[in-house]
Amino acid sequence: MKFKEAFEKMKSGAKVKLPGWGGYWYWDSEKETIMMRCRQKDPDQGDLLDIRETQRVEYTLMNMQSEEWEIADEKNCPALGGTATFSFADAIRYLKRGLKVARQGWNGKSQYIEIATNISYVNASGQIVNCEHDAIGNKAIAFVGTSGVQMGWLASQADMLADDWVFAE
C-alpha cells in the first residue's frame, strides 16, 4: 500500500512497516506524531524514536515514498516476534550495502549469499591474477554453504521471484 493508506491505518491504530524492516511505525495520538519502533540492530537510534527526531531524514522521506507498506504483525515483524521477509530486488539492494541474505527455504542453516570483492585466482602458469575489469570492477555474489564458497552464484528464476528472502547472520 502507499504511505497515504498506511498513514490512515496508523491513525486507526495499526502498526505498519516496509518489507525487510525489523521494526514498525505507529501513530501516537497523545503526542500527535508517528513513533518508530526501531529494530534491535539500530542501537544508535534507540528502541523508540519520534519521527521528528530522526537523524536519517533522507532515508525516512524515501521510505514514505514507497508503495510497499504493509501491516506489521507477529508473523512479518521481528519486533513483534516474527521474521521480516523481502523480495529478490530488496535482497540485491541489501547485498550491495554489505549485508548477508538467504532464502527462508534453503536447506542448511548457515547458507547465505554475500558480495565478494578483491577477487583473484591462480592461473595455469601459477601467477596470481587480480580480477579487475574497467566496466564491472572486482565484485561477485558468493554463495556460502555447508560445503564451502561458490563464487559467481547465479539466482534461479524461483530465487528471483521469491518473497521469502531474509537477513542471514
Ranges under pLDDT 50 in the chain: 45
Contact between 28 and 37 under an 8 Å Cβ cutoff? The reply is no
**Radius of gyration of the chain, Cα coordinates, nearest whole angstrom:** 20
User: Hey, how many other C-beta atoms are within 10 angstroms of the C-beta on 153?
Assistant: 16
Contact between 28 and 34 under an 8 Å Cβ cutoff? The reply is yes
pLDDT in tens, 42-61: 555 458 999 999 998 999 99
Q: What are the grid coordinates assigned to 101, written together?
A: 541474505
